[in-house]
Structures are given as structure tokens and as C-alpha cells.
Amino acid sequence: MACPEFEDLILDYCEGAASPADGALLESHIAACAGCRQYLALQRELDLRLAKSLARPALSPDFARELTARMAERRRTPRLRWLPRILDSTGYLSLAPRLPA
């Protein structure tokens, strides 16, 4: 049985999502912990079985071209990063006490 505090890290490690520091921590831990070592081996076996059993989706011949075009279009679309700040300021000003006329 794996140590509860290492279960999520083992899953991240199997997916390649663990940071280098976390990976080193896990590697040193599994060197001394048979339960976590076994859990890691089971997860790797499960990943291999799933990879073999699941068919990869077929992509259209135009997929790469269409994806590249969409990414280029998103880069050209202007972003209004300043708008939320202006709206926040306008909202804060509406809360200010009104000055007599």
C-alpha cells in the first residue's frame, strides 16, 4: 500500500507532470518504500495496458493546417487587457460619496 501523502505525486510522476524537485523526492522515497514502489509499478502497468487497449483517434488530413490557422488567428485577435481595470475603477468610483453641487 502506498503512503497517502505520495499517491498523488506518484500519479503526477507517471503522467510526467511532477516537477524535477518532486520527481527527485519521489525517487528517493520509493528507493526505501516498497509500498510506494509497488504502487508506482502498478500505475505504470495500468498506463501501458490502457495505451494498448485504446485506439488513437483518427485525425483528418487537414487537422494540422486548421489548428495552425486557428492558433495564428487567436494571436492576431486584439486583447483588451486594460478593460477589466477600467471597469473596476468605474465601479469603485460609483461607490464614492457624492459631493454637493
Position with higher pLDDT, 80 vs 10 = 10
**Per-residue pLDDT at 64 exceeds 80:** yes
> pTM higher than 0.85, yes or no?
no
| Sign of the dihedral defined by the CA atoms of residues 40, 46, 52, 58, in that order | negative
Cβ proximity of 67 and 37 under 8 Å: no
**Measured between alpha carbons, how far is residue 42 from residues 35, 46, 49, 89, 101 in Å?**
11, 6, 10, 54, 76
Q: Which of 39, 52, 34, 35 is nearest to 13 (CA)?
A: 39
